[in-house]
Chains A and B, each alone.
Chain A
Amino acid sequence: MPVTKSMRRKLDYLVRATGRGEAEIVALAVEEGLSELYRKQVAEAYLAGNLEREKTVHELGKDAVEELDYARRSIDADIEWGLKSA
Chain B
Amino acid sequence: MACLKCVGEIAISTQVRAELRRHAVHDAVLQLFDGLIQVERVTLSEIGAQRDRLQGSGLHKADLSTVALVERLRPNVVLTDDLQLRKALETQGHKVVGSVGVMVRAFSCGIINKAELQTAIDELLDGSSLYTSKAFRKHVHDLLDSID
Q: Quick one: given A81-B101, A82-B105, are A67 and B147 in contact (CB under 8 Å)?
A: no
Chain B residues near A67: list those with CB within 8 A.
83, 130
Choose from B100, B136, B143 the contact partner of A47 (Cβ within 8 Å): B136
Q: Are B105 and A86 in contact (CB under 8 A)?
A: yes
B residues touching A (Cβ–Cβ < 8 Å)?
A: 77, 83, 86-87, 95, 97-109, 130-131, 133-136, 138-140, 143-144, 147
Choose from B83, B106, B108 the contact partner of A74 (Cβ within 8 Å): B83
Residues A52-86 near B (CB distance < 8 A)? 67, 70-72, 74-79, 81-83, 85-86
Tally chain A residues at the interface, Cβ within 8 Å.
23
Across the interface, name the chain A residue whose C-beta is closest to B140. Answer: A75
A residues touching B (Cβ–Cβ < 8 Å)?
A: 40, 43-49, 67, 70-72, 74-79, 81-83, 85-86
Taken together as a complex, chains A and B put the C-alpha atoms of A78 and B38 apart, in Å, by 24
Q: Is the interface of A mostly helix, strand, loop or mixed?
A: helix
Sample of 6 A–B contacts (CB below 8 Å) = A70-B83, A74-B83, A78-B100, A81-B77, A82-B108, A86-B105
Across the interface, name the chain B residue whose C-beta is closest to A85. Answer: B105
Q: Are B133 and A44 in contact (CB under 8 A)?
A: yes
9 closest pairs, A vs B, by CB? A82-B104, A86-B108, A78-B101, A47-B135, A48-B135, A82-B105, A78-B100, A82-B101, A81-B101
